[in-house]
DNA sequence: CTGTTAGCGCGTTCAC
DNA sequence: GTGAACGCGCTAACAG
């Protein structure tokens, strides 16, 4: 058994109250006692029991992270950002997976409730009305990362999917591309799907070009979606000169399938990705892509939650800037 | 404030002890009371307070994960494996980063101690003697993942780095390659460095070939190391026909630099990676590599810790099998 | 089948 | 400057 403040009290001959004061540096005790207590604590290898503290203070200094079960590599960055900030503020982080598409979310929330987390960070899950209600009922400072509530009823941090895809498409247009495909987006996804499709269309139309249905291939943001897009374009015999992709993975899928068909990137086909995960810059040719600031999302989200805890500050939604990173997969037509 | 068993007791007119029995399904109570209690719990939205439970039972049903701060994508898989198993057994998982090369480890362990985690999973950190002592002093079921203690004093799960690299090298040899390079390994790393270098050398020598010093370029497992290796080979004018790489990232670095020099993979140069992270199969050409079963490492490691908790079963070290995955970056010389 | 009691480790009055 | 006493929410004897 680990030592407790009782043990320290016994050894030093002071009361547990005083030990507690010293350990928490609350002041109001003599120099002598302080030394005595600290020495004893050190000698016994005393370690706070956060569970006991939680019980009496009614706060756990713990933040709950809920992540879906898909394994795109960017979750790592977000979690990094969260944990770094939590660490700085002496908070701990407990992590649960909410299953594919958040199926296990209810259970995740239950766990978080049982652990009495002080705040909640929910990453990249499309919440339905019922789930939203569940979250609100927990009455905890909460922030959504890389997603948002369809009714905006919870604060979030993300980039503007609409603008980012508009920018990507427009960039291709400015490079002289006229037949621009779209690959891998899910139109039923109200957060990361539909708005991006809209951004793509608007960019095309803003240039007085027609949106061609056959140039759009829906999917699920995956590598496979990218491969299938190329397959589809081939079958329809309508190969675009450039493709806007749902993710870096989709872009790599496009490139992979293109390669198999003998199409060269970027000479014959330009490709632009989305996310700027590590695979983007490690690929050959290196992927031109839209960068999402994942680490910052995590860090700022965590900070917002913690500040709402200590300063009772309301959590504000925030749109973070994306960035178009030019590398080697887009070729100008001029 | 959330409802407690006291509230339930008051409403239903039974004692808190009985409420506790019902909630934990311990049996020994009437059908009537059970219904009453459950109904009240439901109505009040009762939620266990795990912190209070931890206090009295002296176990937290929490497992601590310590991960270094580097951001290779495979941590995600390991954590996935851990969390899935933890979830199944109703354990929670608390995550801390131990900084670059485990510099913050002491603090991580302190956090874990304060939270009174029941078990410890340490991922991919090379522990020095002092750190090992620290961990042992915590007196917790512990397992190391994808690393091991230099004195084998803690159980671990990993693949045999030595054998895996031997296999990779030997595979290249069997494809007819005679000038085989090695890129990106750190010889000072006693776990993932030196043994692999050894495996490489042994394979070469087993084929009565000389180990050429200039064909070996050390590094830090990174993409950059791969690029520098090619740079080096060029300067020395000693381009191998195949390269064994420290990681998939190193392999991609090799491929990237090779591409810039007009060297084609695999036509002019064969490359074999290590890890089989997602970038391996998404790359074009898809990377031939050594697969490490990361998810399984996490899952089996977590299971071992939990079983040692419930069954007092000792945790055994385990060498997991690697697998050589043939894709498109190695070309036979025949 | 059920209630009483004690105590887990700690922070926090309220006295002195 | 310090201590006694209480209670956070819960489980675990023990008694009935």
Residue pLDDT, tens place only, A90-120: 999 999 999 888 889 999 999 999 999 999 9
Amino acid B28: pLDDT: 84
The nearest CA of chain A is from the CA of B260 a distance in Å of: 9
DSSP-derived secondary structure for A139-152: ---EEEES---TT-
The mean pLDDT value of chain B amounts to 96
Is the pLDDT reported for residue A309 higher than 90? yes
Q: What is the band of A313 on the pLDDT scale with cuts at 50, 70, 90? A: confident
List all residues 6 or more positions away from B133 whose beta carbon is below 8 Å from its beta carbon: none
Contact status, residue A29 vs residue A85, Cβ threshold 8 Å: no
CA distance linking residue B316 with residue B142, whole number of Å: 10
Q: Please name the member of B77, B97, B104 whose beta carbon is closest to the beta carbon of A71.
A: B77
Q: Which residue has the tokens 């031939």?
A: B288
CA B30 to C1' C2, in angstroms, rounded, equals 9
A325 burial level (CB within 10 Å; 0-12, 13-18, 19+): middle
Q: Please name the member of A60, A71, A282 whose beta carbon is closest to the beta carbon of B279.
A: A282
Identify the DSSP state of B45. Answer: T
Chain B residues in contact with A277 by the CB 8 A cut-off are 73
Chain A residues in contact with B113 by the CB 8 A cut-off are 2, 47
Is the pLDDT reported for residue B313 higher than 90? no
List all residues 6 or more positions away from A251 whose beta carbon is below 8 Å from its beta carbon: A226, A243, A245, A271, A272, A273, A274, A280, A287, A289, A329
Q: Please name the member of B83, B96, B223 whose beta carbon is closest to the beta carbon of A96.
A: B83
Q: For residue A85, report the phi and psi dihedrals to the nearest 5 degrees.
A: -70, -40
Q: Which nucleotide is nearest to A37 (CA to C1')?
A: D2
Chain B residues in contact with A223 by the CB 8 A cut-off are 281-282
Is the pLDDT reported for residue B1 higher than 80? no
Q: Please name the member of A1, A48, A279 whose beta carbon is closest to the beta carbon of B282.
A: A279
Angle between helices B50-57 and A50-57 (to 10 degrees): 130
The first and second tokens of residue B253, run together, are 């670095």
Contact status, residue B119 vs residue B307, Cβ threshold 8 Å: no
Q: For residue A278, report the phi and psi dihedrals to the nearest 5 degrees.
A: -60, -30
Q: What is the pLDDT of residues B22-76, one digit of tens each?
A: 999 998 899 999 999 999 999 999 999 999 999 999 999 999 999 998 777 788 8
For nucleotide D13, the protein residue with its alpha carbon nearest to C1' is B17
Q: What is the band of B195 on the pLDDT scale with cuts at 50, 70, 90? A: very high
- Give whole-number Cα distances, B289 to B72, B252, B329, in Å: 16, 11, 9
Q: Choosing among B114, B118, B245, B285, which should be mutated to test the A contact, i.e. which has the most A CBs within 10 A? A: B114
CA A95 to C1' D13, in angstroms, rounded, equals 36
How many contacts (CB atoms, under 8 Å) link A and B? 142
Q: What is the pLDDT of residues A206-236, one digit of tens each?
A: 999 999 999 999 999 999 999 999 999 999 9
CB under 7 Å from strand D: A 13-18, 21, 28-30, 32-33, 52, 55-56, 58; B 1-2, 4-6, 16-17, 20, 23-24, 46, 48-49, 52-53, 55-57
Q: Which of B28-32, B67-71, B136-140, B308-312 has the lowest mean pLDDT?
A: B67-71
Q: Which residue has the tokens 């934990």?
A: B24
Contact status, residue A224 vs residue A253, Cβ threshold 8 Å: yes
Contact: A84, B75; criterion CB under 8 Å: no
SS3 content of chain A, % helix, strand, coil (to 5): 45, 15, 40
CA distance linking residue B169 with residue A29, whole number of Å: 68
Listed in sequence order, the DSSP H helices in B150-293 are 161-174, 194-206, 223-235, 248-260, 278-282
CA distance linking residue B82 with residue B289, whole number of Å: 24
CA distance linking residue A295 with residue A274, whole number of Å: 16
Chain B residues in contact with A62 by the CB 8 A cut-off are 94
Amino acid A228: pLDDT: 98
Q: Is nucleic acid strand C under 7 Å from A14's C-beta? A: no
- Give whole-number Cα distances, B213 to B170, B179, B232, B233, B240, in Å: 18, 11, 12, 11, 12
Number of neighbouring beta carbons within 10 Å of residue A304: 24
Is the pLDDT reported for residue B240 higher than 80? yes
Is the pLDDT reported for residue B150 higher than 80? yes
The sheet carrying A216-218 orders its strands as: A216-218, A180-185, A242-245, A270-275, A288-291, A323-325
Q: Which of A63-77, A170-184, A309-323, B50-64 has the lowest mean pLDDT?
A: A63-77
* Dihedral class, residue A293 (left if φ above 0, else alpha if ψ from -120 to 50, else beta): beta
List all residues 6 or more positions away from A130 whose beta carbon is below 8 Å from its beta carbon: none
Chain A residues in contact with B52 by the CB 8 A cut-off are 51, 55
Q: What is the pLDDT of residues B65-109, one digit of tens each?
A: 999 987 777 888 999 999 999 999 999 999 999 988 888 999 999
For nucleotide C2, the protein residue with its alpha carbon nearest to C1' is B18
Is the pLDDT reported for residue B149 higher than 80? yes
Chain A residues in contact with B96 by the CB 8 A cut-off are 83, 87, 92-93
Contact: B115, A93; criterion CB under 8 Å: no
Q: What is the band of B239 on the pLDDT scale with cuts at 50, 70, 90? A: very high
Is the pLDDT reported for residue A1 higher than 80? no
The first and second tokens of residue B156, run together, are 């671990």
What is this structure's pTM?
0.95
Contact: B252, A282; criterion CB under 8 Å: yes
CA A244 to C1' D1, in angstroms, rounded, equals 71
Contact: B51, A55; criterion CB under 8 Å: yes
Amino acid B27: pLDDT: 87
> Residues A300-310: what's their mean pLDDT?
97
Contact status, residue A127 vs residue A102, Cβ threshold 8 Å: yes
Q: For residue A249, report the phi and psi dihedrals to the nearest 5 degrees.
A: -65, -45
The first and second tokens of residue B153, run together, are 């004093």
Contact status, residue A108 vs residue A66, Cβ threshold 8 Å: yes
Q: For residue B167, report the phi and psi dihedrals to the nearest 5 degrees.
A: -60, -45
What is the end-to-end Cα distance of chain A in Å, rounded?
74
Amino acid B74: pLDDT: 84
CA A35 to C1' D3, in angstroms, rounded, equals 19
Amino acid B153: pLDDT: 96
CA distance linking residue A65 with residue A72, whole number of Å: 16
> Strand A142-145 to strand A180-185: parallel, antiparallel, or no bridges (unpaired)?
unpaired
Q: Please name the member of A62, A83, A114 whose beta carbon is closest to the beta carbon of B48.
A: A114
Number of neighbouring beta carbons within 10 Å of residue B332: 11
- Give whole-number Cα distances, B184 to B74, B100, B224, in Å: 18, 18, 9
CA distance linking residue B196 with residue B190, whole number of Å: 9
């Amino acid at each position: 058994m680990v030592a407790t403040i009782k043990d320290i009290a016994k050894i030093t001959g002071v009361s547990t109250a005083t030990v507690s004061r010293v350990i928490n540096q609350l002041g109001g005790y003599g120099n002598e006692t302080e030394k005595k207590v600290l020495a004893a604590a050190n000698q016994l290898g005393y370690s706070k029991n956060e569970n006991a503290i939680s019980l009496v203070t009614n706060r756990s200094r713990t933040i709950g992270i809920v992540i879906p079960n898909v394994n795109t590599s960017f979750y790592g960055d977000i979690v990094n950002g969260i944990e770094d900030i939590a660490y700085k503020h002496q908070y701990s982080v407990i992590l649960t997976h909410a299953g594919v598409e958040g199926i296990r979310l209810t259970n995740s929330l239950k766990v978080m409730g049982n652990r009495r987390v002080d705040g909640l960070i929910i990453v990249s899950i499309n919440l339905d009305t019922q789930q939203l209600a569940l979250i609100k009922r927990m009455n905890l400072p909460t922030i959504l990362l890389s997603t948002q509530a369809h009714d905006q009823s919870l604060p979030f941090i993300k980039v503007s999917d609409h603008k980012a895809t508009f920018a990507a498409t427009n960039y291709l247009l400015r490079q002289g591309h006229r037949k621009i495909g779209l690959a891998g987006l899910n139109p039923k996804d109200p957060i990361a799907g539909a708005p991006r499709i809209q951004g793509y269309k608007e960019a095309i139309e803003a240039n007085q070009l027609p949106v061609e249905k056959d140039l759009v291939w829906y999917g699920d943001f995956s590598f496979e979606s990218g491969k299938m897009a190329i397959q589809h374009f081939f079958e329809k015999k309508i190969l675009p000169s450039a493709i806007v992709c749902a993710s870096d993975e989709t872009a790599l899928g496009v490139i992979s399938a293109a390669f198999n068909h003998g199409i060269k990137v970027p000479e014959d086909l330009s490709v632009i990705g989305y996310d700027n995960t590590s695979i983007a810059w490690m690929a050959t040719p290196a992927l031109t892509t839209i960068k999402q600031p994942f680490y910052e999302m995590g860090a700022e989200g965590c900070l917002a939650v913690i500040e709402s805890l200590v300063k009772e500050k309301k959590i504000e939604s925030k749109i973070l800037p994306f960035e178009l990173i030019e590398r080697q997969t887009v070729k100008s037509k001029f």
